[in-house]
Structure 1
């Protein structure tokens, strides 16, 4: 069987769970048992030797010896394996617990985060535990049957299947594969030559890695082009179960699992002081950061730009731009090769926040430091838990000369195909043909209606405060102690002036012809940045004339009257 047939067979085991487990809970059983069976098969050749060493060796730390004999970073000292577990159906729960507790600490940690013992207890109460173990014992997952790369693909396929089945939680930790493929393509596209360097070590980070899909796709794309490159994935995840899935996936592929950590990236940064070559992420849309508010604001205030959040903090209801600042802080300096970032956002980070607000200041800092390379608008209804519009932001600190001082907006909203059957809110998908077309829009320089190159300053503006005099009852302007006209707060107004435009000239042209006594309070002028994406690709559709509409109504009325006559037989 190929890996997809293997995944299909494992998937069929879920049929046993129907009725006792909700469909969204199938993965809680199948994924950890798949991991256990893989480890069981891989460790089988050294099983007897490990038991012998454990029995005869008296030293306190046997771990290095166990690892040397297994050839892996994990081992198991229980007398049980899947074959022996099926010998006694009456003691299956106790024996399986003994087997799991016999694993090395890293595997036990994964199983703890899968909450495996609660799963085992529920299976046993339902009379399903022995059947599930028996089914898995029939599957050959040895290294000879399935190598690490194939095992990784198979596990990814299982993750995808269960995530798509679980409409309750799919969007929380699972990004559609075609979106990840597109992100990886625009992330890696300019670096074709760099990625052909044999022996090069590439580091990748996802600070909200979920089940590890983005890390896997990026790693696979690099290796597919050059298998002589060493790719080291790093991930951090807040949810214990999805963390366990990601960490297990890394081990199954032969990656060093210590590079995936559990915790909140904001206040439990698992990779302090570390820098990365590539970063990609899909942080949760519009999730508040109140739980870590004090930590983040303290860091912003006390460390400034020496910390992660010196540019500012967004409104408490949406931490998206905090994730981006966190990733920017981990960019490799340009002198050491620089970094590239791809991150998925909803529309809010493009424009939320007025001039001087946290969001605007973060955008200003990013754009004025020439970090933003491109934004790609995606089709709507791509994600499982939301139908809203989404965007890929691409950032780098090593723009090519042609892109320096520029930001490209790519309009990819029409590049999709309708799905035959929707999955939650997901009704559209990006085909390979669509993806290639979007990547071409990202990289090409021939004129095309679906991309526009802007100067960085095109997205900046100056918000000016326009004051008018306060008049007394006799119509005279009220003066302050210095003889200056007092402003009438009721008449106060603001104007938004493009950053490229001279404020004085704008004021003379747009304001003074209408209110000749007005002036600018320069002390209140603020610079803001926003990216009104849809405005630049808006296409006006002419409304039909009233004559055309009335003609159509008249025609419909005549057709209805004719039908009525036919029905009434007159």
Structure 2
């Protein structure tokens, strides 16, 4: 099996090239189709061609089995056995024979499509491909024959011997991204490259003390926002690198019919149970109610509003126990990414672990008592958050922003309890020779091993290594007590005073609060409020007092502040010297301009 770095580099060398060749078939559609419509044809045709090339070696065997068992009422099992896959096609046609008969391309192509097994028919139905076939066969602009010819080119060979299941997933991701760009819209997800999924998988394994229990790795893996399922495929690929006989069962949910169809197709081609790939919106239509998994791995969308799901989510939130959302308050409707944290935690077994990608906002967004703060408090007070890893910028295909992997464990190791490890891996990467979109950096094996080592040692520290390119990579960690993230936000009142600065008392002999001077103080949970006020406030405001009724507990994870390095100031004499030299240079320029008269 190729090593992981070879596979990571292959993302750029093979996948983008293959996707470009497939996408070039869109030239055939130019005119009758608008650019934003190309994907409606290219994506299902790619799925069909992938199925075709997988079935090609057993095509004759399936035709023979179909003839042999044609009188049987139930013959699906025989046909699957003949094809070697959990799907088949009983049509006599192949792409080559379709190409050989241009006069009858419409009837022959429809015969070929109708020859697929029901599970493939379901995929094409979700993509509404039958509508596109009719459009491609329009007598005023017939495009179907040329499109079939385009997919017959040697460069369009998608047989498993040429393209692995995981790489095929990346090709689909690339095509979807191009489709979204042609429609001038966001692709809807930050596509997760193989190097990041390998890192997430290795972190899951490190967080799981039972991963090697028994003779072989046996795990269930769930992706709540699976897209084309390439994260699941990549996780399985990585686990099988560690144990060739690993038994990995993948489950996923997706709400986009095109990407769901591709995920289901990928499961079929891998020989897995495609019923584990389920269609629907995860937040408002949970298709895995009652399921519990060993691992959850996902990259939910950042900053996507959850207004469309609000009615169902709020109903579940208000139910007894809160369902998947057992917190005091839901987050603001402008960003639903933290709801996926709650859903993922709800799907974990009692000893399960989760790796989920987030942007920076869940670290700090929301004041005490807000929905975002409520979720932070929930995961921290339950002691499920084990570590947070800051990734290098420019690690994703379509975003360069700072991103983080949050590692959750439902059963933390005793030495990890009531602690969270913050890992700054922002400088742990190797530059790509050629970027793919916004992705300019790779987390290679050397980088991945360094990050996992830092996590495994679970302490304050600095780690360094040399990457394959000879450049130094480094990781820095800080081990925090969970209580250090919490604080009491107290309201500090100051009295109304007279002209002498003395408090004015009301009729009951008490000081009146001056609303214009109301202030707040964030006091760490591990500090006494009264002692803090006496030490930090009263020396500057001797009459101040705390309104206890307004005190709220909040949590924030000050990742940037923890790793902030204060730059040493330049000595004053050096600054003065530089200013003097600058003045002399300026003086010479002025003399040259105005002459000695100055």
What band does the TM-score fall into relative to the shorter chain?
0.7 to 0.9
For residues 311-350 of structure 1, what are the structure 2 equivalents within 5 Å? 311-333=328-350, 338-350=351-363
Return 465-474 or 267-276, whichever deviates more.
465-474
Offset, 1:193? 6.2
Residue 389 (structure 2) aligned to one of 358, 369, 376: 376
Distance 2:188 2:450 in 1: 25
Does 1:406 pair with 2:419?
yes
Return 534-543 or 276-285, whichever deviates more.
534-543
Q: TM-score, normalised on structure 2? A: 0.83
Shift in CA distance, 274/548, structure 1 to aligned 2, threshold 3 Å: farther
Offset, 1:130? 2.6
For residues 413-492 of structure 1, what are the structure 2 equivalents within 5 Å? 413-445=426-458, 447-449=460-462, 450-470=476-496, 477-479=504-506, 484-492=510-518
Residue 536 (structure 2) aligned to one of 493, 506, 510: 510
Name the counterpart of 2:21.
12
Distance 1:39 1:480 in 2: 89
Alpha-carbon contact 2:226-2:253 (below 8 Å) kept: yes
The C-alpha deviation readout for 1:249-289, integer Å capped at 9, x for no partner, is 11111111111111100111111110000111100111110
Q: SS of the residue aligned with 1:38?
A: helix
Name the counterpart of 2:62.
47
Does 1:250 pair with 2:259?
no
Q: TM-score, normalised on structure 1? A: 0.87
Distance 2:45 2:432 in 1: 27
Distance 1:434 1:66 in 2: 46
Shift in CA distance, 311/62, structure 1 to aligned 2, threshold 3 Å: farther
Q: Where does structure 1 lack aligned partners over 5 or more consecutive residues?
A: 566-570
Residue 400 (structure 2) aligned to one of 374, 387, 391: 387
Distance 2:105 2:592 in 1: 74
Shift in CA distance, 121/380, structure 1 to aligned 2, threshold 3 Å: farther
Offset, 1:382? 1.9
Return 86-95 or 11-20, whichever deviates more.
11-20
Residue 174 (structure 1) aligned to one of 191, 196, 216: 191
Distance 2:507 2:102 in 1: 93
Q: SS of the residue aligned with 2:102?
A: coil
Aligned residues: 555
CA RMSD of aligned residues (A): 3.5
Q: SS of the residue aligned with 1:364?
A: helix
Distance 1:6 1:520 in 2: 64
Return 342-351 or 160-169, whichever deviates more.
160-169
Offset, 1:14? 4.0
Distance 1:305 1:436 in 2: 39
Does 1:28 pair with 2:43?
yes
Shift in CA distance, 135/392, structure 1 to aligned 2, threshold 3 Å: same
Name the counterpart of 1:530.
556
Distance 2:360 2:223 in 1: 21
Offset, 1:437? 2.1
For residues 288-307 of structure 1, what are the structure 2 equivalents within 5 Å? 288-307=305-324
Shift in CA distance, 446/262, structure 1 to aligned 2, threshold 3 Å: closer
Distance 1:166 1:436 in 2: 35
Q: SS of the residue aligned with 2:348?
A: coil
Q: SS of the residue aligned with 2:304?
A: coil
Distance 2:592 2:64 in 1: 89
Shift in CA distance, 224/437, structure 1 to aligned 2, threshold 3 Å: same
Distance 2:538 2:14 in 1: 75
Alpha-carbon contact 1:236-1:263 (below 8 Å) kept: yes
Offset, 1:182? 1.6
Distance 2:105 2:588 in 1: 75
Q: SS of the residue aligned with 1:310?
A: coil
Q: Where does structure 2 lack aligned partners over 5 or more consecutive residues?
A: 463-475
The C-alpha deviation readout for 1:359-406, integer Å capped at 9, x for no partner, is 111101101111000000111122232221111100001211221111
Return 494-503 or 394-403, whichever deviates more.
394-403
Alpha-carbon contact 2:26-2:42 (below 8 Å) kept: no
Shift in CA distance, 440/199, structure 1 to aligned 2, threshold 3 Å: closer
